[in-house]
Structure 1
Amino acid sequence: MFATYVTVTILASVFTGIAAVTYLMGHDYPKAQADMKRVPHSWLPKLGAALAAGSLGLLAGFAVPLIGTLAAAGLVLYFVGALVAHLRVGSRKLVGWAVFFATSIAALAVNLAYHW
């Protein structure tokens, strides 16, 4: 179980960390997504910071399990919000969202199974 916990947590942290970097550096992809979902560009740094906090929180969970659990739960909520943003504008391009959501759910599940 420990190997699964470590693997899934690191994978989720890497995925969300890469997404956070693209948001924080002002890459064109998050800007295009924000335009499609009618989200102001001024939100991008805040969304990137939320992803970065989740990514780092998952890693901090190796030392303090409660932080990892809360970070994983926060990422799940973040991606539920992303789904709402997609559906609000009628977007059905959900493959990318599904990958991030599934990884966040998996991170939360293995965290809960391993620690609690």
Structure 2
Amino acid sequence: MLFALYAVVTVLAAIVLAYGAYLDLAGHPSIAEEADRLSVPRSWMAPLGVCLGAGSLGLLAGFAVPVLGTAAGVGLVLFFVGAVGAHLRVGDRQLGGALGALAMSAAALALGVAVHRVA
């Protein structure tokens, strides 16, 4: 039962994060507007998209190599803590996306550690 929950949460998180990576790498207008609102240079969007894509792939790789999934989960949690901080830094209260992604990343990490007992 725990493995099934881990699998569902991890795959959903990977899909959502891969879509976010695509938006960043494609320079989608909504991402550009958010970068402007948060005073984040638009030139950072591609590198941040690569980080999201790598995290998404890392979560999936964690099914075969648990330590990769753990490393990806830790990296994604730190990524989204930084994203929440970027919102708070400029007084932006539109935190739903960043907090949701943080929660999904943390859930995938916690479930992966619980299933694989990797620390």
Question: Taking structure 2 as the reference length, what is the TM-score of the superposition?
Answer: 0.95
For structure 2, the residue ranges without an aligned partner over 5 or more in a row are: none
Q: Corresponding residue for 1:98?
A: 99
Is 2:15 the partner of 1:14? yes
Deviations 1:63-98 (A, max 9, x none): 100000100110000000001100110001111112
Paired residue secondary structure (2:18)? helix
CA distance in 1, matches of 2:98, 2:27: 19
Two-structure CA RMSD over aligned residues (Å):
0.6
Aligned residues: 116
Once the 2 structures are TM-superposed, how far is the Cα of residue 5 of structure 1 from its aligned partner?
1.0
Letter of the structure 2 residue corresponding to residue 59 of structure 1: L
CA distance in 2, matches of 1:81, 1:94: 12
CA distance in 2, matches of 1:96, 1:80: 12
Q: Corresponding residue for 1:77?
A: 78
Letter of the structure 2 residue corresponding to residue 105 of structure 1: A
Once the 2 structures are TM-superposed, how far is the Cα of residue 49 of structure 1 from its aligned partner?
0.3
Question: Taking structure 1 as the reference length, what is the TM-score of the superposition?
Answer: 0.98
Once the 2 structures are TM-superposed, how far is the Cα of residue 2 of structure 1 from its aligned partner?
1.1
Deviations 1:1-43 (A, max 9, x none): 1101110110110110100000001101110110000011110
Paired residue secondary structure (1:39)? coil
Paired residue secondary structure (1:90)? coil
Letter of the structure 1 residue corresponding to residue 76 of structure 2: L
Runs of 4+ in 1 over 3 A off after TM superposition: none
> Percent identical across equivalent pairs?
53
